A and B are shown apart, each in its own frame.
Chain A
Amino acid sequence: MSLKNFNWKKYTNYLVVGGVMLIFGLLSLVGVSDASITSLLERISIAAILAVSLSMVVGFLGELSLGHAGFMCVGAYLGGKVAALLEPSLGNGPLNFFIALLVGSLAAALFGVIVGLPALRLRGDYLAIVTLAFGEIVRSVVMNLPAKLFGGTLGLSTPRMDKKYLFIMGFLLLLACLAVTQNLIKSKHGRAIISIRDNEIAARATGIDVTKYKLFVFTISSFFAGVAGVLYSFSMYTVQSANFDYNYSIEILVMVVLGGMGSINGSLIAAALITFLNIQLQTMLTGDLAVLQNLFYAVILILIVIYRNAPGLKGFREKYNMRTISEKLFKKKKTVVENADAGEEEATNE
């Protein structure tokens, strides 16, 4: 492909993510960067991987998973355990990280198959219930197993990678996650997946193997949740299962919904924004008022979903959406192909 015909616009989000990684990577390597910046960036990369992978299930497949943190927990504990066992011989460098990554993410994917198999055969909200149950089971089991296995209530001690490099790993994995997700969505398989979301019966009628596709997407999504888990375990000295509770799954869901279901870029931005807000709010609200944060999430969740989905608000939505507002702001006089389904920026490559 000659450079002239290369469509840069298709790769904007890779460029932004890669650019941020390079700038801060260089800063960090020459020692200008600060520990809190690198830790913020690594948190953002973990959250973004989680949000983008959940967005595949919720936004493109149209199923709800409430156990994303559970799959992350599997990745963090199994990957972390392998890394801890290998630490004496391999240290906490990239080699150990990649072995742990392989183990943790594959284990999470395997659990994805086990959980998805019974739930995805059924229509409706079963996946939500089963994943919720799965998240609780995982948390309860790792915490109560003998301390020799997974550290019990004190959590599992895991090797921690040098913070100067970990966020670079995080961003590389985020790029990989973006590449897999976006290429999948753009492929013919992606169209099949979206057709399942829009009308399962019609999709089935055209010969699409609905269960196979559902399981495929769900497994990939669990795989990346496992990746995020391994990253998390390398960012901490101890992995504690209390972190992977139902509330964390909801937080990831909020990122996906806030970013606009079915928009990868949206999930990316929302993940960065919410992670940043969480860290900033950590010391700003005191006492029971700290719940204001949860209240805020809840209200956002309800308002956004009603606004974007209520049949009664269709006219309002068409009059005031992001696209028309931004057009007015930038005084563009372009005719944009109106796509009925909100959130599919991919369709309108200006």
Chain B
Amino acid sequence: MKKILSIVLAVVMVAGCCVALSSCSYKDTINIGVSGPLTGDAAVYGQAVANAAQLAVDEINAQGGLNGIEFRLIATDDQADAAKVETNYNKMMRKGMQVSLGCVTTGACLEFKNLSKADDLFFLTPSASGDSVPEFSNGYQMCFADSNQGGVAALYVQSLLAAGLLTNGLKIEEVGVFYKSDDAYSKGIYDKFIEMMPGIPEANRVAFTGTNSDFTAQIDALKGCKFIFMPIYYTPASQFMVQAKDKIDAKAIYYGCDGFDGIESAEGFDITSIPQEVSMLSHYNSKATEGKAKEFADKYEAKYGKDTLNQFGASAYDCVWAIYGAMKKAVAEGKTVNNETTVADMCAILKEQFNGEYTYSGATGTNIKWADTGYVAKVADYIQIKAAN
């Protein structure tokens, strides 16, 4: 019995190692890797990124690639779990990843930034918005960093307070925050917002955690507010709005960040039944009626349907094109960029472009530039999703 057990044990271990090795690398293409939640609770974001990046890669290849060399996207699934990133990273490196979109979510990307630092791999993340994501010189963001969003939102609210733009004149005691205290994105924006708006009363800073969806206590705490800042994703936000319909002042404003994008198409949620105004601060508007944002939305919808159309995808689409644009500019300047460029050379070439005069215009902004800290510089729009009734 024991003999059999031990043989089985040995076979399992050896087989495991053999299978782990058995995948070949792509040598004839320029390979872009990305790791994101293709399954699990955050799958809608990861799928949007993978789809949109594939869309961009297909378009680039249809144009003849980079001087005839085609691009290839290697997408792997991390279920937004940092512990799964290393496996993905190793797998993508084995397959010949030369440049990357990093990870889709912040937690996973914090692991990715360290792994990629060791290999000096360039990454431009579409959506991992943590402040420390571009900590090392090889990391860049296409989305706004959390503290940046929190800061811009605070400036906006301050301007409202100063100008008395609301009909009844908004007072700081009437500003509330509703955030998810165990989520890096929400907490990151919240911290900066509160830092800049210390006058907001303690009682109006309301948190929830986990998968909790009964917000009775939270709504009760916020019922006197006329302006509620919600740095959260749209699913809990829509749940809050449905429950708060007749409990919070009908003239109040719900103000979110880019996490709000797509709220009007959330399943089973009828935004017109909400009396309050819903608006957001975002770099991308999926309901845009003109420009690159509209072009992207149309192309995406035609290929993948609109279930997963959101700002994550738009941002990923821009990431791929921005990397392509930087490569093209480098080639024009006499550099060699092809399928044989090493990871470190690629990183040096792209860093020179991104830290230099290179600008990019796409679905999530025009004349986008990057600081050498890796943070993006572009304009965030105030977008009204739904006016007050």
Partner of A350, one of B2, B12, B209: B2
- Residues on B with beta carbons closer than 8 Å to the beta carbon of A140: 182, 209
Q: Is the CB of A37 within 8 A of B106?
A: no
The reply on A20 being an interface residue by CB < 8 A is yes
Q: Is the CB of A154 within 8 A of B130?
A: yes
- Residues on A with beta carbons closer than 8 Å to the beta carbon of B184: 153-154
A-B residue pair count with CB separations less than 8 angstroms? 153
A348 to B1, CA, bound (A): 9
Q: Is the CB of A12 within 8 A of B111?
A: no
Least CB distance, A340 to chain B, in whole angstroms: 16
Name the CB-closest residue of A to B89: A35
Question: Interface extent on B, as a size class?
Answer: 35 or more
Q: Is the CB of B16 within 8 A of A40?
A: yes
Which of B17-25, B153-161, B287-295, B333-341 binds A? B17-25
Partner of B90, one of A36, A238, A266, A288: A36
Q: Is the CB of B12 within 8 A of A282?
A: no
The reply on A345 being an interface residue by CB < 8 A is yes
1/0 contact string of B76-97 vs chain A (CB within 8 Å): 1111011110111011011000
Q: Is the CB of A269 within 8 A of B209?
A: no
- Residues on B with beta carbons closer than 8 Å to the beta carbon of A40: 16-17, 20, 87
Given A153-B184, A265-B5, A269-B8, the answer on whether A236 and B87 have CB atoms closer than 8 Å is no
Partner of B107, one of A154, A157, A266, A286: A154
Q: Is the CB of B76 within 8 A of A16?
A: no
Given A144-B181, A154-B110, A287-B43, the answer on whether A240 and B82 have CB atoms closer than 8 Å is yes
A56 to B165, CA, bound (A): 66
Q: Is the CB of B83 within 8 A of A236?
A: yes
The reply on A243 being an interface residue by CB < 8 A is yes
Partner of B82, one of A143, A238, A350: A238
User: In the complex, how many residues of chain A place their beta carbon closer than 8 angstroms to a beta carbon of chain B?
Assistant: 57
A276 to B77, CA, bound (A): 16
1/0 contact string of B1-35 vs chain A (CB within 8 Å): 11111101110111111011100000000000000
A265 to B2, CA, bound (A): 8
Q: Is the CB of B82 within 8 A of A155?
A: yes
Partner of A276, one of B12, B93, B107, B130: B12
Q: Is the CB of A272 within 8 A of B76?
A: no
- Residues on B with beta carbons closer than 8 Å to the beta carbon of A283: 38, 76-77, 88, 91
The 9 A-B residue pairs whose C-beta atoms are closest, nearest first, are A290-B39, A237-B114, A36-B90, A276-B16, A153-B184, A12-B6, A35-B90, A265-B5, A153-B187
